């Protein structure tokens, strides 16, 4: 159901708010919160839509700062009614993936916890560790996040030693496999010496380890070993025996004592203070701890709601075999019956969710909570150091509040060539890499042999904040500034007075300078400059606030330089191909994707070149003639 978007927030129109709330039925479904520009800000679900949505607008409702900010911006409410709560849960998950609402951030994407990714979207799937979970391709699968990155790398190393897997992201040679194939460590994926179907069967076995199904995999391998021995294939039986031994060593010392070792269980608990919530989830299969996952959440929500959301997001992408038959929780969930019904339907077996109060199961929850508490203490110590630095920085710059979000900008180029810029973000004094951005400088005056850092910085700042600028047809900004999580409390420019002046000028043109605090940090003496001031502030380069700006500056420089090197390398790869008539950027990309390097393209025959999509016989001959002039 969609209603035309209004211009005033609902809180400022009590009659319209009450009328809108009365229209919402007391049935299960999904609700949308929209702003004045018709953007979806938040998507939620409820078994009773009316009472859930109405709770947002009650003064007594315990709202976090994030939700309170959102409620002030709501100009319209929409809803979709479903038959059951399970349908509402599935619909909410799909809509959040589709629209990526700004305020749906209960569980944070914490980069210190790694994931394992298996790229099932590819014919020959890759397995790698990543700290950034990107759901770009639906078939790709992520497992985690894992708390022990060292153990995770050891597991992956063991898997690559036990099973023949592709060892390189790109082939080393064009027409032959590398040494890994001769050593039996790789089945020759680069030359397709193994079929996609057979290779995917190998990867499926490894996926069972990250699904917590190690014992099931050992049972399968044991049957294969016995079959190979009965068939007198002793070499194959010995190889499978070594695989079994390797996997048994993974969990040899991780036995968890519970009365019924045949039941698969997950146990989840949290520890929280007024700023952070650390969640730990232990995966126990056949009495063994096979995985320890971690999440970080908004500390302002109720414990039961946080655990509910963590479990919903964790099992959202899990296969049915990964769902345990018993889930132990520290607190009663806000809607545990609905979640249990959904998981039961997906698994095809009864899934029980309970908060144990006594005996061994309660002791297990206590152990999980203790681990969450240790992680919280570690975060508190790190947070105290960052709080001290932010307090010192607020004192230096005379800020009214602590700078929660600080952005740093830097330019990188070589005499104007391949000019790029970086935007790095620190939140509460820590790098928030999910918010990092790269910019390619588009200013036509910035070319090889002619650099202009002032103009480049002005361009980047204009592009970053143009969505907050005031349009010609309106007096209000396109997006809310203060209270918006995307709006920085402080901007730091890498440079001196000149760089700062260029940024201040463009912010003045956009009518943003009154709401933004901007400083620059000069490298030579670590001096801080303020807009309009000819002399730097009196500071010590080693005091906590200045050190925080230095860390931000160094990170912005690193990020800019790495992107500049990447751009320069790509240009060097394509420099010779640019000289071939009729070979545009798209076809260059196809050629490099097929042959991997310009040297292999140079060695290819016209017939081999013509095999590339989009390269016909005539163009293939021109490419060959370019590299082989008569």
pLDDT digits (tens, 9 = 90+) for 535-550: 888 888 888 889 999 9
DSSP state of 543: S
Distance CA 124, CA 119 (A): 8
Q: What is the pLDDT of residues 402-441, one digit of tens each?
A: 898 999 999 988 877 888 899 999 988 888 888 899 998 8
Q: What is the mean pLDDT of residues 367-395?
A: 85
Termini Cα distance of the chain:
70
Q: What is the pLDDT of residues 330-357, one digit of tens each?
A: 999 888 888 888 899 888 889 999 998 8
Using CA atoms, how far residue 314 sits from 21, 59, 93, 593, in Å, is: 32, 32, 12, 35
DSSP state of 198: H
In this predicted model, which residue has the larger pLDDT, 494 or 66? 494
Which CATH superfamily hosts domain 405-571?
A: UvrC, RNAse H endonuclease domain (3.30.420.340)
- Cα 225 to the chain's mean position, in Å? 40
What was the pLDDT predicted at 491?
Answer: 93
Q: At what angle do helices 196-210 and 214-230 cross, to 10 degrees?
A: 130
What was the pLDDT predicted at 474?
Answer: 47
Distance CA 371, CA 341 (A): 29
Residue 75 has pLDDT above 50, yes or no: yes
- Those residues with Cβ within 8 angstroms of residue 22's Cβ, 6 or more apart along the chain or in another chain: none
Residue 2 has pLDDT above 50, yes or no: no
**Which 3 state secondary structure label does DSSP give 182?**
helix
Residue 3 has pLDDT above 50, yes or no: no
| Per-residue exposure over 200-227, b if at least 16 CB sit within 10 Å of its own CB, e if not | bebbebbbbbbbbbbbebbeebeebbee
Q: Which two structure tokens, joined as six digits, stand for 255?
A: 């036995």
Specify the pTM.
Answer: 0.57
Name the residue ranges covered by the structural domains of the chain.
10-104, 115-250, 265-286+297-315+323-378, 405-571, 575-627
What was the pLDDT predicted at 453?
Answer: 86
Q: What is the pLDDT of residues 459-495, one digit of tens each?
A: 999 999 888 876 444 455 566 676 677 889 999 999 8
Q: Are the CB atoms for 145 and 295 separated by under 8 Å?
A: yes
CATH 1.10.150.20 fits 575-627, yes or no: yes
Q: Are the CB atoms for 68 and 12 separated by under 8 Å?
A: no
Mean pLDDT of the chain: 82
Q: What is the mean pLDDT of residues 55-77?
A: 77
Q: What is the mean pLDDT of residues 280-297?
A: 80
Distance CA 281, CA 267 (A): 6
Q: At what angle do helices 303-316 and 85-99 cross, to 10 degrees?
A: 70
- Fold match flag (10-104 vs 575-627): no
Distance CA 291, CA 281 (A): 8
| Residues in the chain, total | 630
What was the pLDDT predicted at 216?
Answer: 73
Q: What is the pLDDT of residues 221-263, one digit of tens each?
A: 788 888 888 888 887 788 778 777 766 665 544 545 555 667 7
Among the residues of 58-194, which ranges form H helices?
65-73, 85-99, 149-162, 179-182
Distance CA 239, CA 228 (A): 10
- Work out the percent of the chain whose per-residue pLDDT is above 90: 10
What CATH architecture does domain 10-104 belong to? 3-Layer(aba) Sandwich (3.40)
- Those residues with Cβ within 8 angstroms of residue 297's Cβ, 6 or more apart along the chain or in another chain: 106, 107, 108, 270, 277, 279, 306, 309, 310
Q: Which helix (H) or strand (E) holds 184?
A: none
Q: What is the mean pLDDT of residues 183-189?
A: 83
What was the pLDDT predicted at 423?
Answer: 93
Q: Is 481 exposed, middle or buried (0-12, 13-18, 19+ CB in 10 A)?
A: middle
Residue 169 has pLDDT above 50, yes or no: yes
- Work out the percent of the chain whose per-residue pLDDT is above 70: 89
Q: Are the CB atoms for 555 and 431 separated by under 8 Å?
A: yes
Q: What is the pLDDT of residues 586-610, one digit of tens each?
A: 888 888 878 877 778 888 888 888 8
What was the pLDDT predicted at 46?
Answer: 86
- Those residues with Cβ within 8 angstroms of residue 35's Cβ, 6 or more apart along the chain or in another chain: 41, 73, 74, 75, 480
Nearest by Cα to 36 from 7, 68, 72: 7
Q: Are strands 518-522 and 107-108 parallel, antiparallel or unpaired?
A: unpaired
What one-character-per-residue DSSP string does 261-305 give?
A: TTS-EEEEEEEE-SSEEEEEEEEEETTEEEEEEEEEEETTS-HHH
What was the pLDDT predicted at 298?
Answer: 66
Residue 22 has pLDDT above 80, yes or no: yes
Q: What is the mean pLDDT of residues 319-327?
A: 86
Q: What is the mean pLDDT of residues 12-31?
A: 89
Q: Which two structure tokens, joined as six digits, stand for 444?
A: 């036509």
Distance CA 50, CA 29 (A): 10
Distance CA 320, CA 344 (A): 9
Nearest by Cα to 340 from 258, 266, 277, 256: 266
Q: Are the CB atoms for 505 and 485 separated by under 8 Å?
A: no
Using CA atoms, how far residue 489 sits from 242, 486, 496, 588, in Å, is: 57, 10, 20, 43
Distance CA 452, CA 445 (A): 8
The band of 170, judged by pLDDT with boundaries at 50, 70 and 90, is: confident
**Which 3 state secondary structure label does DSSP give 506?**
helix
């Amino acid at each position: 159901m969609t209603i035309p978007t209004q211009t005033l927030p609902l809180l400022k129109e009590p009659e319209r708010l009450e009328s809108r709330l009365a229209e919402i039925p007391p049935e299960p479904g999904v609700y949308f919160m929209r702003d004045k520009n018709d953007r979806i800000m938040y998507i939620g679900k409820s078994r009773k839509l009316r009472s859930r949505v109405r709770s947002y607008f009650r003064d007594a409702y315990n709202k976090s700062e994030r939700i309170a900010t959102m409620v002030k911006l709501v100009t319209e409410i929409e809803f979709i009614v479903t038959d059951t709560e399970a349908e509402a849960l599935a619909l909410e998950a799909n809509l959040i993936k589709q629209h990526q609402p700004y305020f749906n951030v209960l569980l944070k994407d914490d980069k210190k916890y790694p994931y394992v990714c298996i790229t099932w979207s590819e014919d020959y799937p890759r397995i790698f560790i990543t700290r950034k979970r990107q759901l770009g391709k639906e078939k790709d699968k992520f497992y985690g996040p894992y708390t022990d990155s060292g153990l995770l790398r050891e597991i992956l190393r063991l898997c690559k030693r036990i099973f023949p897997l592709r060892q390189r992201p790109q082939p080393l040679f064009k027409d032959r496999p590398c040494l890994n194939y001769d050593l039996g460590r790789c089945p020759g994926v680069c030359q397709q010496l193994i079929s996609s179907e057979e290779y995917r069967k190998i990867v499926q076995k490894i996926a069972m380890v990250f699904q917590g199904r190690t014992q099931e995999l050992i049972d399968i391998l044991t049957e294969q070993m016995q079959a190979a021995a009965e068939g007198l294939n002793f070499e194959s039986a010995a190889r499978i025996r070594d695989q079994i031994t390797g996997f048994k060593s993974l969990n040899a010392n991780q036995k968890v004592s519970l009365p019924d070792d045949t039941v698969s269980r997950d146990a989840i608990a949290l520890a929280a203070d007024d700023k952070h919530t650390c969640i730990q989830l232990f995966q126990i299969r056949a009495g063994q701890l096979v995985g320890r996952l971690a999440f970080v959440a908004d500390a302002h929500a109720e414990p039961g709601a946080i655990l509910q959301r963590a479990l919903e997001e964790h099992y959202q992408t899990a296969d049915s075999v990964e769902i345990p038959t018993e889930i132990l929780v520290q607190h009663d969930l806000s809607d545990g019956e609905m979640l249990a019904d959904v998981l039961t339907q997906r698994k095809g077996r009864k899934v029980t969710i309970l908060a144990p109060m006594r005996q061994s199961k309660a002791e297990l929850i206590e152990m999980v909570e203790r681990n969450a508490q240790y992680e919280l203490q570690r975060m508190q110590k790190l947070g105290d150091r960052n709080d001290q630095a932010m307090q010192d920085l607020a004192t230096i710059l005379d800020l009214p509040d602590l700078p929660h979000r600080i952005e740093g900008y830097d330019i990188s180029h070589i005499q104007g060539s391949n000019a790029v810029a970086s935007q790095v973000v620190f939140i509460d004094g820590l790098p928030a890499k999910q918010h990092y951005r790269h910019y390619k400088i588009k200013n036509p005056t910035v070319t090889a042999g002619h650099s202009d850092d002032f103009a480049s910085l002005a361009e980047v700042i204009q592009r970053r904040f143009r969505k907050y600028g005031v349009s010609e047809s309106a007096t209000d900004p396109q997006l809310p500034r203060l209270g918006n999580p995307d709006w920085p409390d402080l901007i730091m420019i890498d440079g001196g007075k000149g760089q700062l002046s260029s940024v201040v000028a463009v912010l003045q043109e956009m009518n943003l300078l009154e709401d933004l605090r901007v400083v620059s940090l000069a490298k030579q003496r670590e001096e801080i400059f303020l807009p309009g001031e000819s002399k730097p502030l009196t500071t010590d380069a080693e005091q906590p606030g200045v050190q925080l700006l230095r860390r931000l500056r160094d990170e912005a420089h690193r990020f800019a330089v790495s992107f500049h090197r990447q751009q320069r390398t790509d240009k060097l790869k394509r420099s010779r191909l640019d000289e071939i008539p009729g070979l545009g950027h798209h076809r260059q990309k196809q050629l490099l994707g097929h042959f991997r390097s310009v040297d292999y393209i140079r060695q290819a025959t016209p017939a081999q070149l013509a095999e590339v999509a989009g390269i016909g016989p005539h163009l293939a001959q021109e490419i060959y003639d370019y590299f082989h002039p008569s």
